[in-house]
Amino acid sequence: MIRVGKILKKKAVIWERLVLGWIVLSFVMMMNPIIGSRSIVKESVYQMNGSHGIIISGCLGENGWYVSAVQITFNFSGHGGWPDPVFFKIDNGTWDVYSVPIIVGTDGEHTIWMYYIDDYGNQSEIFVAYFNIDTTLPTLTLSKETLEGNEIKFVANVSDATSGIWRVEFYLDAEPVFIDYNFPFETRAVSSGNHNLIAFVFDVAGHSEIGSISSPVLVMKRSLPLLESFYSGLRMTFMESFAVATR
C-alpha cells in the first residue's frame, strides 16, 4: 500500500507539472505578439491573398516595372473591419504603424511587409509584396568604327542605372536594319559613304532615348522632337514586320 501511495503521489506531481507547463506556455504564446510595444513579429511569411493583402498603385511600364512613384495601401475586406494597429516595413527598414497611404519613389527593387493585431491581441500572419521602380531614362551615345574593306559600323554606347538595357533599335538611312538585345550594341558592317543612323535604346522598364549620327559628321546626341515624331511612325512599322536575324 505504501508503494502504491508513492506511485500515485509521483504521478500527481507529474500531472501537476504538465498542467503548470501548459498554462505557462499558453500565456507566453498569447502575450508574445504584443511584448515590447508589439514590436516583435513572427518569423513565418505569407503571400498576400484575396481577402487580406497589399495594394500597390502606380504607372506600370514594361516587364513589371513601375515608371513612377507608387502608393501602397492595404486590403482587409475579409476581416470584417479595419484592424488596429497595422504595422509595415519597407526593405530593410524598421517596423512602423500604418496611418496614411505609403508613397515610395526611390528607384530600385523593393519589398513591403505588413501584419496587424486583431481585436483579441493576436498577431496576424505577415503579408509581403514585391515591386520595382525605375523613373530614370537610359543614356545613349553613338559612334562609328572604320573596318577593313571600305566598310564601317555604328556602335551604341548605352547605360541604365536601374532596370538595365532591354534593346537597341537601329535605323540606317531611314530604313530599319537591326534590333540588338545583347552587348555590344552595334550594327552590322555597311559600305562606307554618306549615311545617317538613328538609334533608340530601351531599358527594361520601357523608358527610351533616341540619338542620331551621320557619316562622317556627328549630328546630335539627342534628337529634335520633329525627328522623334517622324521615326515613331517608322518604328511602328518596323516592330510589326521586322524579324530579328541571328547574327
Give the phi and the psi of residue 239 in degrees, each rounded to 5: -70, -25
For 210, the grid coordinates are: 533616341
Which residue, 126, 168, 135, is CA-closest to 40? 126
Domains and CATH numbers, the chain: 38-133 (2.60.40), 139-241 (2.60.40.10)
pLDDT digit of tens for each residue in the chain (247 aa)? 555 454 445 545 444 544 444 443 343 334 333 323 333 343 334 344 444 578 899 999 999 999 999 999 988 776 666 788 999 999 999 999 999 999 999 999 999 999 999 888 899 889 999 999 999 999 999 999 988 888 889 999 999 999 999 999 999 998 898 899 999 999 988 888 889 999 999 999 999 999 999 876 433 333 334 345 445 555 555 554 444 333 4
- Residue 136: partners with Cβ closer than 8 Å, 6 or more residues away: 107, 160, 161, 162, 207
Report the alpha-carbon distance of residue 143 to residue 246 in Å, rounded: 23
Instruction: Evaluate whether 202 touches 235 at the Cβ level (below 8 Å).
Output: no
Element (H, E) at 231: helix 225-241
Global pTM value: 0.66
